[in-house]
């Protein structure tokens, strides 16, 4: 069966990787991207699919019900892959309002529009609403705690994770109340091509290249589980095709790494790849800075449900994935340089006020 997909947030990091994956794997499917092109959205992320006859880009806000209704009807959408969000924890600490608006109100708007569209079309069993969420909704783990499973109680700690938790609850409620065929995925930290410079891995790569200090929060011993973005996209593909409506699937890379160790791995790769770095060894740039407010100590994912039930496993190891990512940022200077805009510098000064 061919699908008509609406991908919200498809000009962002994971959304764009997902669009590339989908267009390559299912060239007969229709893919419509709805994206507001906030600071994190970039039409150039979709350059390789623009011009395909089965692809269409619409600039618009997921909170705008009339645009959403119009796309659902005119494109006869049967599947929503919902990525659009405010996604950066540090920005949520500076200004939580946009997170509540897009992540909660925007998700609610999409759910209402899809409920109507699904109902008007006599509730076809093949329709799907995939809500792409995060492991951060489960809160923070201590070193000896078991990894998050799908039954771990929600305990979000940042305005970002609280707004994602709110949207997860709404999605869950639409399945339980209306029987709408929703799916939720909660994934760990992604990395790879097209990630906006504010996030840890691109920030460290770019700062090394331009000889700027590498700011590590607190003692650097916070732990994240890292998943290569291509593996995440494959997981979302199997969830759309084979996931059971109403279910939640945790997705993770089984790659727990302390931040400081990850930064050292990146520095070694940069030293290896770039002979003329402004500062060598690049570990000399590492600077411990004031900790993020409410900084979650550790995330870890138990992904046995998706592995056993949908036969998905990650395929890219952390050392392979970091190599691919570093190479991409080295080759794509023309992609990231324009993103270090005045707006970005102002944001940077606010978060890293010591610079
Ligand atoms: P991103 O910030 O790179 O991209 C978000 C995209 O959404 C941008 O293109 C932006 O323009 C768009 N957008 C924002 N507000 C919008 C609005 N009101 N209407 C329409 N478009 C809007 O985010 P990302 O890292 O690609 O994350 C995508 C999704 O995956 C998010 O829902 C996030 O919570 C989730 N997630 C991210 C990670 C990660 O490590 N990055 C891990 C797990 C889950
Ligand atoms: O766990 C999934 C989440 O991963 C997603 O839901 C979020 O959208 C995504 O942004 C990411 O959140 P994190 O806060 O974990 O990612 P970030 O890249 O901002 O930070 C990773 C770790 O590195 C975290 O412990 C904070 C630390 N850090 C981050 C930055 C930007 C630093 O030490 N220095 C930095 O400059």
Beta strands 223-228 and 128-134: pairing type? unpaired
Sign of the CA dihedral with 351 first, then 159, 172, and 72 last? negative
Cα torsion angle, 263, 19, 138, 107, sign = positive
Structure tokens at 7: 């991908």
**Catalytic: 160?**
yes
Predicted local distance difference test score (pLDDT) of residue 353: 83
Atom of ligand 1 nearest to the CA of 82: 32
Q: Does pTM top 0.85 for this prediction?
A: yes
Task: Provide the token pair at 121.
Answer: 């079309």
Nearest CA to ligand 1 atom 42: 189
**68: domain CATH number?**
3.40.50.720
DSSP track, 33-75: EEE---TT--GGGGTTTTT-TTEEEEE--TT-HHHHHHHHHHT
CB 157 within 8 A of CB 104: no
Is 53 part of any domain? yes
Work out the angle at residue 233's Cα, subtended by the Cα atoms of residues 229 and 235, and round it to the nearest 5 degrees. Answer: 115
Domain count, the chain: 1
Residue 312 has which token pair?
Answer: 């998905």
Is 347 an active-site residue?
no
Q: What is the pLDDT of residue 355?
A: 42
Is residue 26 annotated as a catalytic residue, yes or no?
Answer: no
Instruction: Give residue for tokens 């199997």.
Output: 238
Q: Does the beta carbon of 89 lie inside 6 Å of ligand 2?
A: yes
Task: Please give the number of the atom of ligand 2 that sits closest to the Cα of 296.
Answer: 25
Q: For residue 15, which ligand has an atom nearest its CA? A: 1
For residue 40, give the ligand nearest its CA.
1
Does the C-beta of 136 come closer than 6 Å to ligand 2? Answer: yes
Q: Is the CB of 13 under 6 A from ligand 2?
A: no
Q: Residues 133, 156: contact at Cβ < 8 Å?
A: no
Low-confidence ranges of the chain (pLDDT < 50): 355
**Which amino acid residue places its CA nearest to atom 37 of ligand 1?**
134
Ligand 1 contacts CB of residue 100 (under 6 A): no
Cβ-in-10-Å burial (0-12, 13-18, 19+) of 292 comes to: middle
Query: Cα–Cα distance between 62 and 192 in angstroms, integer?
Result: 25
Domain that residue 41 falls in? 4-194+227-253+299-315
Q: Compute CA distances 43 → 15, 38, 171, whole Å.
A: 11, 11, 28
User: At 32, phi and psi to the nearest 5?
Assistant: -115, 125
């Amino acid at each position: 069966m061919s699908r008509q997909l609406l991908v919200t947030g498809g000009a962002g990091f994971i959304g764009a990787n997902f669009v590339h994956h989908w267009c390559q794997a299912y060239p007969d499917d229709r893919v419509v991207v709805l994206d507001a092109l906030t600071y994190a959205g970039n039409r150039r992320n979709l350059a390789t699919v623009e011009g395909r006859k089965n692809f269409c880009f619409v600039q618009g806000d997921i909170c705008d019900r009339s645009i959403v209704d119009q796309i659902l009807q005119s494109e006869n959408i049967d599947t929503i892959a919902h990525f659009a969000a405010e996604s950066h924890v540090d920005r949520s600490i500076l200004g939580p309002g946009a997170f509540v608006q897009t992540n909660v109100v925007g998700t609610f708007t999409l759910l209402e529009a899809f409920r109507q569209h699904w109902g008007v079309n006599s509730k076809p069993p093949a329709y799907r609403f995939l809500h792409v969420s995060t492991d951060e909704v489960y809160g923070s783990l201590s070193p000896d705690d078991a990894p998050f499973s799908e039954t771990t109680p929600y305990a979000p700690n940042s305005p970002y994770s609280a707004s994602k938790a709110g949207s997860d609850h709404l999605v869950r409620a639409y399945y339980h109340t209306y029987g709408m065929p929703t799916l939720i995925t909660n994934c760990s930290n992604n990395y790879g091509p097209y990630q906006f410079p504010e996030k840890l891995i691109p920030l460290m790569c770019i700062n090394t290249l331009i000889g700027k200090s590498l700011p590590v929060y607190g003692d650097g011993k916070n732990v994240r589980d890292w998943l290569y973005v291509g593996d995440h996209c494959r997981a979302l593909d199997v969830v759309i095709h084979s996931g059971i409506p109403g279910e939640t699937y945790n997705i993770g890379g089984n790659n727990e790494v302390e931040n400081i160790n990850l930064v050292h791995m990146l520095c070694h790769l940069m030293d290896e790849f770039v002979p003329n770095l402004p500062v060598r060894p690049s570990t000399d740039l590492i600077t411990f800075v004031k900790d993020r407010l409410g900084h979650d100590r550790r995330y870890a994912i138990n992904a046995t449900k998706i592995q056993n039930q949908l036969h998905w496993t990650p395929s890219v190891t952390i050392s392979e994935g970091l190599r691919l990512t570093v190479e991409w940022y080295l080759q794509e200077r023309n992609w990231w340089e324009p993103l270090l805009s005045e707006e970005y510098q102002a944001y940077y000064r606010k978060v890293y006020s010591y610079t």
